Amino acid sequence: MILHSNDTQEQEVVLHHSGVVIKRATSSDSISRLQIEKSIYEHLGSHPYIAKFLAYKEGELTLAFCAHKDLLEYAGTFPDQLIPENELSGICQQIASAMAYCHYRKVTHRDLKLENVFLDSEKQVRVGDFGFARRFTRMGQKFEPAGTLELYSPEHFLGYMTPRTDLWSFGVLMFELYAGYLPFETNDIVRNKPHTWPEGVGTPHIQALVESLLSYNPKHRPLFKYILLNLN
C-alpha cells in the first residue's frame, strides 16, 4: 500500500479526545471545507456505514471516534500490508452500501480512497471526509476536478468529474485493497494501461467487477445499487 498525496487540499488538524475526533480548520479554505462537510453530514443523516457526525462549532467538526482508524492504517497492521481476503468482502459491501445511500441522497463524495474509509471498534466501515462532497441533481452533472492526483479518473484529465467518478474511485480502492498497489501508473494520464492482477488474488467475479468500475467511459460503470447485488 502507498500513502496517497493530496495536492488540492490543505489538511485540517485532527485531534483525538475522549472518544471523539475533532477536525479543526487551519485556514479560510479549510473552514469552507468543514462547513461543506457539516452540511453534507446533516443532509445524509444517520447511516450505519457513514461516519457519525456529532457537532460543529467555530471551525471545529466533531465526529465519533473510529478505533481502527482508516483502511490504509489498518492494512499496515498485517505483515504483508494486505487485509485478508476473507475480511475484504464485507468491507467492500459496506463501502458500496454507504455510497449507494450517498447517491440515493444525491451526494457525490469526490475523494473516495483508503484514507477516507474508517473502521470502528467492531471493524464496521465508516465512510468519512466529505469536505470535497457535493450535492447533485443527475448522474451526468459535471463538477470541477477535485480529489487525489494518483487516483484521478480519465474524466479528471478532461477537466471535469461527475457522480460516476465515485464508481471509478471505488474500483481503484477495491483493486488496491486486493492487490496492494494502484491499478495504473500515476503518469498514465490516459488510464489505458492497467496493471495485471497478482496471481491468485481476487476471484474472477471480483476482478470482472473491478474492471467494469475502471471503464474509461463513465456510463459503462455499474451503479452502486447494482454493485451491492454483485457483492452479496
Catalytic-residue membership of 120:
no
Amino acid at 134: R
Residues 18/62, Cβ–Cβ less than 8 Å: no
What are residue 83's DSSP bridge partners? Answer: none
Catalytic residue among 70, 111, 129, 166: 111
- C-alpha pair distances (Å), 227 with each of 102, 140, 167: 14, 19, 9
The number of beta carbons lying within 10 Å of the beta carbon of residue 86 is 7
How far apart CA 27 and CA 6 sit, in angstroms, is 16
C-alpha cell at 25: 480548520
Residues 162/141, Cβ–Cβ less than 8 Å: yes
Quickly tell me which residue has 496493471 as its cell: 195
Just list the catalytic residues.
111
